[in-house]
Amino acid sequence: MCPEVKLKKLILILAESALETIPREIWTHPCIRKYSKTRSKPPAFLLLDLSFHYQAAKKLPDLHKRGRPDIVHVTLLEVLGSPLCRRGLLDIYVHTYADYVIWVDPSTRLPRHYYRFCGLIEQLFETRKVPPEAEKPLLTLEKMTLRELLEKLRPDTVVLLDESGERRRLRDLAEELVQWERPALLVGAFQSGKFREETYRLATKIYSIYDEVLDTWVVTSRVLTAVEEVLGIL
């Protein structure tokens, strides 16, 4: 019954994450000007957040896939606190809507507070690493597509979770993942809607673990838990 375990690192990628600085098209909108003034920073260094910027953002394309930094925040809190992460078995990347990639050191203690998290990510977009002077930063940011990230990481397999995928029992998915040395697991970190065509093409397998769409943090914690169980960590 026990699968052959080869896992060295599970590469977790939050894909097409709804995390970006305020896009240039709406910098001059009164709502953005006001927000920029309150925060004492130019819009280029502020995160788009639909809770505050909906009026300015509502005409942007793909609105349902943008301006939700909270999704990345809550999911990373789950991921960084997981036993799998603490055991050093996770590599963590956040790929964003505008094709940036954030690498997250697994030992990062992320701010628990949403606003401090946003401040940290804003600093990251400005300085490309956090802390800015650190030789070993906790977060780094690069302009990079998902394809480029996968070409760089060269995982053994790429599993994409999507409701359109083949329905798979959670345990079976975990048993499949641990049979690879460096599998990549792609989870969408946006509110609703489909991945880009390109993203589907990058996947070796597309699976679904439930009949309904689940929150990013719920999906992620389920898969990490199942992998922890298969590995005997829990």
Q: Is 5 an interacting residue with respect to a second copy (CB under 8 A)?
A: no
By beta-carbon proximity to a second copy, the closer residue of 86 and 201 is 86
DSSP string, the chain: -PPPP--S-EEEEEEEES--BPPGGGTTSHHHHHHHHHHTS-GGGSB--HHHHHHHHTTSTTGGGSS-HHHHHHHHHHHHTSHHHHTT-EEEEEEETTSEEEEE-TT----SSHHHHHHHHHHHHHHSEESTT-SS-SEEEEE--HHHHHHHH--S-EEEEEEEEEE--HHHHHHHHTTSSS-EEEEE-SSSSPPPHHHHHH-SEEEESSSS---HHHHHHHHHHHHHHHTT--
> By CB under 8 A, which span of 99-107, 109-117, 131-139, 198-206 interacts with a second copy?
109-117
Check residue 214 for interaction with a second copy (CB under 8 A). Answer: yes
**Which residue in 4, 166, 197, 212 binds a second copy (CB under 8 A)?**
212
Tell me the closest approach of the beta carbon of residue 28 to a second copy, in angstroms. 25
Q: Is 144 in the site for a second copy (CB under 8 A)?
A: no
115 sits near a second copy (criterion: CB under 8 A): yes
- Footprint of a second copy (CB under 8 A): 51, 68, 70-71, 74, 77-78, 81-83, 86, 112-116, 169-171, 209-210, 212, 214-215, 217-218, 221-222, 225-226, 228-229, 233-234
